Structure 1
């Protein structure tokens, strides 16, 4: 009987933890897969730090969208694979590999939780030798 109670308490605790955990929005992953700056813009905060090919820009949402639109126009995404994804307290991240016609890039996207939603505050895109 004691084992059954412990088992059910563990199941309840695991279930509640799973329900409380909010994943990084699937639309962010889809936007990277499609090379869609519009898809990413929906999840950006008012200010975003972009680091693209070692060039850092602190931009508002509109300017960040324009920069990403330009990047994706020059680098058509053929594949995007998530390597790592996680969250801790009030922040989340994803690390992925983006394959384009002009090479392979490592993508880091950092999000923070604002009013129960994840908001992108930094995107980093670096060329890799893979």
Structure 2
């Protein structure tokens, strides 16, 4: 049985889609690893010059250095049990969004990480932790 043009087109589209999803995921591997290990120092390596951090709706912009200390405080108060990204989305102007779950000994947080292009490199522009349910 010969493949039809439509079958070939669908297969090519699915292969392209899997490559795009994989590329998005790779942009978040190091950031996810830093969050997973609870390392503000490792996470700060991927911060832009300023970072918006949000905790349960309270959002504030910080310099990269300040944001590192804020994340260190968060990780010390909410020791990680696990973290994984569940979804990746493309935003306008090359921004990328990763959505995940951070499980700590004090509860579960929905996590949104926004990355943007800065001189050809993806950097963390915003992180939002919202306490949710398991």
Give the TM-score, by structure 1 length.
0.80
Per-residue CA distance 1:55-109 (angstroms, 9 max, x = gap):
2111100111100000000111011121111334611110101110000001000
Check if 1:104 corresponds to 2:108: yes
Query: Going by fraction, where is helix more abundant, 1 or 2?
Result: 2
Give the TM-score, by structure 2 length.
0.78
Match of 2:119? 115
Which range moved further: 65-74 or 111-120? 111-120
Q: 2:80 is matched with which residue: 70, 73, 77? A: 77
Structure 1: 4+ residue segments shifted above 4 A: none
Q: 2:33 is matched with which residue: 25, 30, 34? A: 30
Gap regions ≥5 residues in structure 1: none
For 1:129 and 1:55, how far apart are their aligned partners in 2?
A: 19
Q: How many residues are matched?
A: 126
Match of 2:99? 95
Which range moved further: 29-38 or 97-106? 29-38
For 1:108 and 1:53, how far apart are their aligned partners in 2?
A: 12
For 1:63 and 1:56, how far apart are their aligned partners in 2?
A: 14
Equivalent residues in 2 for 1:6-21 (5 A)?
18=19
